[in-house]
Structure 1
């Protein structure tokens, strides 16, 4: 009698969400300084290099300042990344089970958009706290918010501005996430399939696919990311329309793509590390759990 092929193994849905969040949090611990520099450059309006901005932060605020906002960054990953990767993997597996074949690139892109928009809405409060905490050091001392940690930031925003302000800039945040996830999740999966014929499955394959995914995502998402950052850091009472029109009038349309290299320096490694950590967690689950 011929041997039956082994049944395809699946990771439980709850673990998909958990692995997604943990992989994003692990990546954030590595790239938080780059996220800080990226935010400062988006808010600064000048032409300083990322190296200059980094040196100024250390000189004026101390070495530990490069990890300003880490607690908010971790909460953002625990909410946003957990949700988006979990939803994407759930949709991917559901489609595969229903149609007995993997989804094509177009379907993957739509799944990425859906997963990103849901994740972004869930993660917006942490995003607001992150932007404010990473931006605080560039302000004069008397104007700083001086949030102690992400919990303090969220509680003070609710107390001083109202609970709805936790979702300030939710529209551009969701729009950015739709663009990022359409590009990142769809292109990563597609690039992984393309590189699989050239690179053995493993960290090397994950790195190559992630670098391609990160590059395309950076090009597509920079304009909405800059708008999102400016809105979430705006002073109380300043409307979103005013923030956007001031940006375009004073700095021009091309400012929406200003700082491409520092943006990719953050997004590229984070994309690489997130997917590498995620793939390793998936592999460990299959290795150490019974059939």
Structure 2
């Protein structure tokens, strides 16, 4: 199916060529495949971002981490030199698990909400405020469901750094991390840092999913651009920048809340809650500490969005599914 046929099919003039192509379960699988591809390609940037967000954080004794990294490049080089090349993908397994829940849920839910509840104008565009509400809603729901996998990912990402600082290893695998977290805090412990995670996802989806959908429809319906690679690339570039700008502060809070040590009741020893973490971070390190890791976050979200949307749109095309 060419790009023009995809646009026509999307508007309902011709039916999809295969009976299963537009089913929710099939779109779920396609979105998981696209998200896994994007995650594997850009994961080292996520690891660097997490390390940068933690540096400068004051511990239980009031002291900050030693030997902070100095930017994205030196962070990556430092990880390779001190821990090895493969450590750039440390924690990628739970990251993929997360997207098997998160990306599939958010993409299917958003499309269902958009097609059934959004208002469609005569020119094919939809009100931006509806896209904003839809993006925030589905992002929060999807991230809540995937929060345990995100918690495991963050803790695994920090293991290499902890060992270099002389701390005993906490975990060696995603399965071990899951069991230890569950044994320490039960089901509640698996959702540690859940709320900043949900807030972050809501903002990121507002920037990523909502921006991509709105910008792409504007290009196709108003500027009469073809629904092709170039339109997908331009739309994803916009979504990556807006998503990183809106999501980085909440991502910093989420990372610190998830990485902090806990007591025997799964309560944090550094921060009482997300607001407490936000206030302490600004007080101890200044407002711009909320944007630690912004460059790798942006550099990751840009390629991630580009890889995801190009992959997703093309496999939908090849599978006979209507364009997003």
Same fold (TM over 0.5): yes
Answering whether residue 151 of structure 2 is matched by residue 128 of structure 1, we say yes
For 1:187 and 1:243, locate their aligned partners in 2 and report how far apart those are by CA, in whole Å. 29
The residue number in structure 1 matching 2:62 is: none
Unaligned runs of at least 5 residues, structure 1? none
The residue number in structure 2 matching 1:37 is: 48
Answering whether residue 239 of structure 2 is matched by residue 226 of structure 1, we say no
The residue number in structure 1 matching 2:227 is: 201
Matches for 1:8-157 after TM superposition, within 5 Å: 8-9=15-16, 11-45=22-56, 46=68, 48-95=70-117, 103-140=126-163, 142-157=166-181
Aligned partner of residue 140 in structure 1, secondary structure = helix
* Contact preservation (8 Å) 1:16, 1:86: yes
* Contact preservation (8 Å) 1:173, 1:225: yes
> What do residues 168-214 of structure 1 show as CA deviations (whole Å, max 9, x unaligned)?
11111111111111221111012112333375322221111000011
> What is the CA-CA distance between 1:137 and the residue it aligns to?
1.0
Distance 1:144 1:208, change over 3 A: farther
* Contact preservation (8 Å) 1:176, 1:221: yes
* Contact preservation (8 Å) 1:84, 1:119: yes
Matched pairs, number:
284
> What do residues 70-93 of structure 1 show as CA deviations (whole Å, max 9, x unaligned)?
101101111111111111111122
> What do residues 142-173 of structure 1 show as CA deviations (whole Å, max 9, x unaligned)?
52445333222111211133221110111111
The residue number in structure 2 matching 1:177 is: 201
* Contact preservation (8 Å) 1:42, 1:226: yes
* Contact preservation (8 Å) 1:117, 1:177: yes
> What is the CA-CA distance between 1:15 and the residue it aligns to?
1.4
For 2:173 and 2:52, locate their aligned partners in 1 and report how far apart those are by CA, in whole Å. 22
Aligned partner of residue 52 in structure 1, secondary structure = helix
The residue number in structure 2 matching 1:280 is: 314
> What is the CA-CA distance between 1:229 and the residue it aligns to?
0.4
For 2:251 and 2:321, locate their aligned partners in 1 and report how far apart those are by CA, in whole Å. 38
For 2:227 and 2:292, locate their aligned partners in 1 and report how far apart those are by CA, in whole Å. 36
Structure (1/2) with the larger helix percentage: 1
* Contact preservation (8 Å) 1:169, 1:232: yes
For 1:227 and 1:170, locate their aligned partners in 2 and report how far apart those are by CA, in whole Å. 11
Answering whether residue 262 of structure 2 is matched by residue 240 of structure 1, we say no
> What is the CA-CA distance between 1:133 and the residue it aligns to?
0.6
Aligned partner of residue 240 in structure 1, secondary structure = coil
* Contact preservation (8 Å) 2:162, 2:169: no
For 1:14 and 1:37, locate their aligned partners in 2 and report how far apart those are by CA, in whole Å. 34
CA-based RMSD = 2.3
Relative contact order (alpha carbons < 8 A, sep ≥ 6): 1 or 2 greater?
Answer: 2
* Contact preservation (8 Å) 1:175, 1:224: yes
